[in-house]
Amino acid sequence: MSKVEVRLTVNGAEYVRSVEPRYLLVDFLRRELGLTGTHIGCEQGVCGACTVLLDGQTARSCLHFAVQVSGSEITTIEGVSAEASLSPIQDAFHRNHALQCGYCTPGFVLTTVELLRQNPSPDETEIRRGLTNNVCRCTGYVNIIKAVAEAARSMPTGEG
Amino acid sequence: MAVPDRPGDDSWKIVGRSIPRREDAWLLTGQGCYIDDVPEPSNTLHLGFVLSSEAHARIVLIDAEEALALPGVIDVLTGEDIARLTRPIHTGFLLEGHRDTTRDAVAREKVRFVGEAVAVVVAENPYVAEDGVERVLVTYDPLPAAVALESAAGDDAPLVHEELGTNVVLESTFATEGLDEAFADATRIIKETFRTGRIAGVPMEPRGCLATTGRAGEELTMWTATQIPNIVKTALAKLLGHPESGIRVITPDVGGGFGTKAHFYPEELVCPALALKYGRPVKWIQDRREELLTNIHAREHIYTVEVGIDGDGAIVAMRCNMMANAGAYSSYPFGATLESVGGVRFILGPYHIRNYGYETRAVASHTCPAGAYRGTAQPTAMLAIEGMMDRIAREIGIDPAEARRRNLIKPEQLPYTTAVGTHYRTGSYSESLERALEMIGYEEFRTSQPPDRLVDGKYRGIGICCYTENSGMGVAAVRARGWSVLPGFDGALVRVASDGKVKAFISHAACGQGYHTSFAQIVADQLAVPFEDVSIVVGDTGLTPEGTNTFASRGTVTGGGAAVRACLVVAEKMKRIAAHVLEVSADDIVIENGVAMVQGVPDMRMTVREIAEVAYSLTSHVMPEGDDYGLEATDHYDAGMPTISNAVHVATVAIEPADGTVEVERYVVVHDCGRVINPMIVDGQIHGGAVQALGEVLMEELVYDDAGQLQNATLLEYSLPTALDVPMIDIEHIQSITDENPGGFKGLGEGGVIGGVPALTNAIADALAGIGANVNTNPLKPSRIAELIDAALESR
Ligand code: FES
Ligand code: FES
């Protein structure tokens, strides 16, 4: 199958690769760039494990072809915090035991980045609503909801 | 942490503390390495499986021509081809009444469920493998299928395995002496049938494996998303005819298991077989549709329970007749016994029931094989017994909590042996019930509950579950269940390196439980070294000792037990070395927080690092007479029969009469798993389990049509709970320490779901009891609840 050029800025670095037009964004990130923190849970847009920020907004990388988003800016879990440190959101997840197997976690963290950017001090219902597009099978969400609330409290307004 | 000056100060101990998890550092930052993240060599071949579209059919023709013509497709193999490379999967069961079935890794001649593999495509990349799968044309000659549990058990049902002459693959009966007489003495007899729907574990990460070979095929390394690497290794040796010493099975980070990954699956045989055939790495990653179609299903059960009670509502005799849908094949390693035998034995729970009998059957059908999902049969067994408690209360006009009080095993009855021979050593059955009732404000709830249960336009109810949880099975327990391919023991190797840092290699596999943290807490305390100095290795048969791995809440009891015992040996040796150098008796040495000191003379001290330097001959000191170099020990610990945890869950629900939707309003848990290692991790396990229970009761169901087609093999159609559905959960712990194992631990991985299913179901039943609805069938989806409400209101 013929290949097309895809140009993406991922976590601040620019990448150019030739891939098949049908190549999914999630495969581009994982297989071409080696950014395996973005996970695949359903390939149908249901579970949110593949959530990334696409030009600043959450997007399901399993639902986009890489070529469709060529020219965009992407943030993956690898770009959320500097090497070997935790962002306030990640730290809140850590302190509240908001992850078990961790498979869903990158998606939840990126969803929380957007949630708190849009609403820096959400109440519990707003947090729950903000998280409904991500599925976690391990935690029962209880500690994720607590972690998001704590992250909101600990973050100066507007910080990602 | 400061070094204590005084021996005897144990403030440095960390078992019992909510230490934030170690594994978060890599899992939170995208550095986790799950099966699809394991670096694959550039010459890796990728597999795609062609899945049967028929539930029961003869395979007439497999036409691979078009697939083979695709650039990048290397090969297409049929069941016959794979059978030349592998032996059929067979558990070789040792239980009377169990009719074992064998399974070809890829079907030959016949298919027995939708999703069973009929061919495998080998390709240069995963996209082409998928293209190839679509181009393999299979012609089937369809046969009638046996699907639903009761009809599959019928005399005229189509047979799943003709050679057996029946679909009943397990039959077992039991009765205590004098059961009929006990029933004859009962004041009243209450009978009910409970049905539960088929569901599955649905971990967020599907399965997958990568097999590589080395040294001209002598060495086989397999990464696989499993909970049971050692069981997989032994199975591979047997089924590939490859020396076991040349096989290493590694589990990378695993994205949830819940029992579904505690089985050995056909793809785990095909990948290494083809890696050996081609001499190239072979990889397969499951997609969600395959996950729902082919990973172990569970919980399609029917219980008919009959209790005889005395005038006070105490059970004087009980009978249970159970059936479980076992699916098309015996699962490996559990056979078809896991649910059917478990259900009738676990059902006694925390209750004093002396006269008991059961009949149980596992029934093969043309559906996905059934096996372990968190709790196995315990959630449904407790659903049945707890459902009976509520019925006893209703029958004699007492409160449901009171019915339980009158039947619980009393503290003075411990240690206790149940009618089926299970030993309960310690527990807090009454205490945890009373505390849970207090926490939720049970009395107030009852007093303000009107007879019709309608409060602010919603039916409101409260449900209780008192349960026991089987954990930490050892050798005797797995033999008693007939599991011949499970060893039963677990192993730990604890090694102190020359710099005093400790690594413990434990025969378990992590899939979210936090072993890197909780096992490290155990080892740190046992060796009296700082937590930061301990690291854990699990999930690698090349590094850990042999063992039975992770399922049935075994981790802390068997892995923790082995670690404690190995640590004791290492600690003794450390004391001997310190004593030798300090020229005192080993009995006078105490070790605390990384320092060995002479009791009463705290200035005479050596650090663990200095001791290790002696052990590795890096100083001028020599070893004590009779001691070998090195500082490590291996222990294989057999926990014997199960250790029994207990807990009480109480939930309140509000049901919208118009559409039958249920909101869980309050949820409390009083939990007793003996010594708690890390309360935060334990609470997380309870949360997760309780919410899986919520899914099981309110929304989840795998629906087969009569032809055996799975109607909802996507996450769009198989609903899982989301953040909007769940209650906050209040948890308290009681710690009934046991002396059954070295750490005083009891397992807890499954309890959340075991307690949650009955508590939530009974809360709904209670909410609808005012209008006279009888709730005995799960799941209770809104449409079903609406039907129950309509029917109840109509018949009034
Ligand atoms: S993998 Fe993209 S939403 Fe599930
Ligand atoms: S932590 Fe396992 S799925 Fe969320």
pLDDT (0 to 100) of residue B3: 39
- B-chain residues within 8 Å CB-CB of A77? 29-30
CA distance B378 to chain A (A): 19
Q: Scanning the structure block, which residue is given the tokens 């040294």?
A: B215
Q: Which of A79, A108, A135 is the last residue of a domain?
A: A79
Query: Does residue A100 line the site of ligand 2, with CB under 6 A?
Result: yes
We report the CATH number of the domain holding residue A59 as 3.10.20.30
pTM passes above 0.90:
yes
Exposed e or buried b for every residue in B317-345, given b needs 16+ CB within 10 A? bbbbbbbbbbbbbbbbbbbbbbbbbbbbb
Q: How far is Cα B333 from Cα A32, in angstroms, rounded to an integer? A: 38
In terms of DSSP bridges, do strands B315-327 and B199-200 run parallel, antiparallel, or are they unpaired? unpaired
In terms of DSSP bridges, do strands B315-327 and B356-364 run parallel, antiparallel, or are they unpaired? parallel
- A115 and A93 in one domain? yes
Q: How far is Cα B547 from Cα B567, in angstroms, rounded to an integer? A: 17
- A-chain residues within 8 Å CB-CB of B512? 100-102, 138
Structure tokens, B655? 């049901």
Task: Kindly give the distance from the C-alpha atom of residue B715 to the centroid of ligand 1, in angstroms, as a whole number.
Answer: 10
Task: Kindly give the distance from the C-alpha atom of residue A34 to the centroid of ligand 1, in angstroms, as a whole number.
Answer: 18
* A110: in domain: yes
- A-chain residues within 8 Å CB-CB of B290? none
CA distance A157 to chain B (A): 22
- The boundaries of every CATH 3.90.1170.50 domain in chain B are 35-143+206-254+261-294
Residue numbers of A between 92 and 131 with CB closer than 8 Å to B: 93-95, 97, 99-106, 109, 127-129, 131
Task: Kindly give the distance from the C-alpha atom of residue A37 to the centroid of ligand 2, in angstroms, as a whole number.
Answer: 14
Q: Which of A145, A137, A96 is closest to B374 using CA atoms? A: A137
- A-chain residues within 8 Å CB-CB of B684? 97, 100, 138-139, 143
- A112 and A57 in one domain? no
- Nearest C-alpha in A relative to B513: A100
Query: Does residue A104 line the site of ligand 2, with CB under 6 A?
Result: yes
- A109 and A62 in one domain? no
Task: Kindly give the distance from the C-alpha atom of residue A63 to the centroid of ligand 1, in angstroms, as a whole number.
Answer: 8
* A95: in domain: yes
pLDDT (0 to 100) of residue B95: 80
- A63 and A113 in one domain? no
Q: Which of A79, A107, A132 is the last residue of a domain?
A: A79
pLDDT (0 to 100) of residue B9: 61
* A23: in domain: yes
Q: Which of A79, A113, A144 is the last residue of a domain?
A: A79
- A63 and A106 in one domain? no
Task: Kindly give the distance from the C-alpha atom of residue A58 to the centroid of ligand 1, in angstroms, as a whole number.
Answer: 12
Residue numbers of B between 495 and 514 with CB closer than 8 Å to A: 511-514
- A57 and A100 in one domain? no
- Nearest C-alpha in B relative to A52: B30
Give the ipTM. 0.97
* A122: in domain: yes
Query: Does residue A24 line the site of ligand 1, with CB under 6 A?
Result: no
State the burial class of residue B497 (Cβ atoms within 10 Å of its Cβ: 0-12, 13-18, 19+).
Answer: middle
- A-chain residues within 8 Å CB-CB of B721? 140-141
- A23 and A52 in one domain? yes
pLDDT (0 to 100) of residue B664: 98
What are the DSSP calls for B423-437, one per residue? Answer: EE-S--HHHHHHHHH
pLDDT (0 to 100) of residue B551: 87
Q: In the A/B pair of chains, how many CB contacts fall below 8 A?
A: 170
Task: Give the total number of structural domains in chain A.
Answer: 2
- A71 and A93 in one domain? no
pLDDT (0 to 100) of residue B231: 96
**Which residue segment(s) compose the domain that A45 sits in?**
4-79
* A139: in domain: yes
pLDDT tens-digit profile of B662-672? Answer: 999 999 999 99
Structure tokens, B757? 């299913």
pLDDT tens-digit profile of A74-131? Answer: 999 999 998 778 999 999 999 999 999 999 999 999 999 999 999 999 999 999 999 9
- A-chain residues within 8 Å CB-CB of B723? 127-128, 131-132, 134, 141, 144-145
CATH number of B297-475+640-794: 3.30.365.10
CA distance B623 to chain A (A): 41
Residue numbers of B between 234 and 293 with CB closer than 8 Å to A: 253-258, 287-288
Residue B42 in contact with partner chain A when CB distance is under 8 A: no
Q: How far is Cα A52 from Cα A78, in angstroms, rounded to an integer? A: 10
Q: For chain B, which ranges sit under pLDDT 50?
A: 1-7
- A122 and A75 in one domain? no
- A144 and A92 in one domain? yes
Q: For B127, how many CA atoms within 13 A lie in the half-sphere containing its CB?
A: 11
- A-chain residues within 8 Å CB-CB of B205? 39, 41, 101, 103
- A51 and A13 in one domain? yes
Q: How far is Cα B445 from Cα B665, in angstroms, rounded to an integer? A: 12
- B-chain residues within 8 Å CB-CB of A106? 30
pLDDT (0 to 100) of residue B5: 42
Residue B630 in contact with residue B496, Cβ under 8 Å? no
Q: Scanning the structure block, which residue is given the tokens 């981790």?
A: B555
Q: How far is Cα B159 from Cα B434, in angstroms, rounded to an integer? A: 50
Residue B579 in contact with residue B562, Cβ under 8 Å? no
pLDDT tens-digit profile of B335-389? Answer: 888 999 999 999 999 999 999 999 999 999 999 999 999 999 999 999 999 999 9
Q: How far is Cα B152 from Cα B11, in angstroms, rounded to an integer? A: 60
- Fold of the domain built from segment(s) B35-143+206-254+261-294: Aldehyde Oxidoreductase; domain 3 (3.90.1170)
CA distance B129 to chain A (A): 14
Residue B210 in contact with residue B35, Cβ under 8 Å? yes
Mutation for A interface: B27, B28, B729, most A CBs within 10 A = B28
Kindly identify the ligand whose nearest atom is closest to the C-alpha of A39: 1
- A113 and A74 in one domain? no
Above 60 in pLDDT, residue A42?
Answer: yes
Query: Does residue A41 line the site of ligand 1, with CB under 6 A?
Result: yes
Query: Does residue A139 line the site of ligand 2, with CB under 6 A?
Result: yes
CA distance B413 to chain A (A): 36
Measured in residues, chain B has a length of 796
- The boundaries of every CATH 3.30.365.10 domain in chain B are 24-32+489-637, 297-475+640-794
Q: Which CATH architecture best describes the domain B24-32+489-637?
A: 2-Layer Sandwich (3.30)
Whether residue B690 and residue A140 make contact (CB cut-off 8 A), yes or no, is yes
Query: Does residue A45 line the site of ligand 1, with CB under 6 A?
Result: yes
Mutation for B interface: A30, A101, A135, most B CBs within 10 A = A101
How big is chain A by its Cα radius of gyration, in Å? 16
Amino acid at the residue A134: N
* A159: in domain: no
Q: How far is Cα B295 from Cα B216, in angstroms, rounded to an integer? A: 33
We report the CATH number of the domain holding residue A127 as 1.10.150.120
Query: Measured between CB atoms, which of B29, B255, B721 is closest to A103?
Result: B255
Task: Kindly give the distance from the C-alpha atom of residue B232 to the centroid of ligand 1, in angstroms, as a whole number.
Answer: 29
